[in-house]
Structures are given as structure tokens and as C-alpha cells.
Amino acid sequence: MRILISGFTEFGDNKVNPSRLLAEQVNACSGHEVDWFGADVRGVVLPVEFEAGFQRLRDEIGLFRPDAVLSFGLAASRQTIDLERFALNWRESSSMGSSVAAGELLPGCPLALPSTLPIEGILDRAKGASLPMGISHSAGTYVCNDVFYRMQQHFLRSRVRSGFIHVPPVSADCTLDQLVQFTSLAIGVLVRGR
């Protein structure tokens, strides 16, 4: 099984983006020491830009041909690793000087698309490992949601499992090691089918 892990570059006042650190960790030599349950795992870092973020992800999808995509992004105000249930076909204009206007991401497409990850199975495994976990029903209306929605639309009629996970800033309450542990557990659920 091939699994693609995506994260984002730093943005705004966030000088460290744990989703980037996670994607880079996957590709680092130390990433080979993690139990990926026999999966071939690759990381990619995306720009924090509407449309361009997904274009980079789509390019990597085309090269790697994954069976599943776990896309991660920073939610600086959150305290838990949150599995997102739905991507919205909507964006708000950026607060970081972007000229992108508010409106539908993909006109004529559904208002919302669900994650196709086994959310409940992943949540159960992660809580069993005492990781700081939660479920969110919306990935917001910024670039994380833009990537999530376009990814779900891209895979709409395929067998690829995909979804988005928001992570808090790296701290004593949620370390990079815990994010790697969570990713390993999520991959284990995907590989084992439960």
C-alpha cells in the first residue's frame, strides 16, 4: 500500500508548522525507523496558497499513485489532533494579503464532501494510545479546506481513501513524536482495514 502524507509551509505569524515537520520526518532517514505497517509512505510539503497547494499535491499524487492520502495542516488555536469530517465548497478571502475573493471553490460541485478515511477506527486507535484527539465537522474556509475539498473532488469516483487532519502547534501537550505516532496508528488502520 502506498500512502502520501502532506503538510504545509509556514504562514503568517506561525514560524513553525508541525504539518511540514511531519511530512519532512516521513522522508527523513529517521522516518524509516517508524512502523508504517509495511506501507510505502512518502511526504510532500505544500504552499499555503489557494489552488497552488492542491496543484502541488495533485502533481505528487500523479507521480506516486497513492492508495491513501493523509493531508495535515496547522490550526494554531486548537489543542487536539482533529480528524475533519467534511470539506466545504467555499472559501473566504485571505487575511494575509491574497487577492482571492470569497465564493465557491468549484462552481456546480456539491456544497460539502466527506472524508473517506476510517475516522472512527483511527479515533479509537489514537485514543487507546492516549493521544490528544478530536473530531471536527469542518476544515474551515481557508487553504486547508481548499486542499481538502479539491482532493475529495479529485478522488470522488476512485478507490483512494483521503482526508484531512488539523494539528495543534507543537508543544508539551502535542509533540512531533506524538504526531508521528498518530500517523503510524492511522496508517495501521488503513493497512489492516479496521
Catalytic residue among 10, 84, 104, 154: 84
CA 27/CA 31 separation, integer angstroms: 6
Q: Decide: 131 and 182 in contact? Cβ < 8 Å.
A: yes
32 is catalytic: no
Give the 3-state DSSP-derived string for the chain, with helices as H, strands as E and coil as C: CEEEEEEECCECCECCCHHHHHHHHHHCHHHHHCCCCCCEEEEEEECCCCCHHHHHHHHHHHHHCCCEEEEEEECCCCCCEEEECEEECCECCCCCCCCCCCECCCCCCCCEEECCCCHHHHHHHHHHCCCCEEEECCCCCCHHHHHHHHHHHHCCCCCCEEEEEEECCCCCCCCHHHHHHHHHHHHHHHHHCC
**The three cell numbers locating residue 93:** 478571502
Catalytic residue among 49, 60, 144, 174: 144
137 is catalytic: no
84 is catalytic: yes
Any idea which residues carry the catalytic annotation? 84, 144, 166
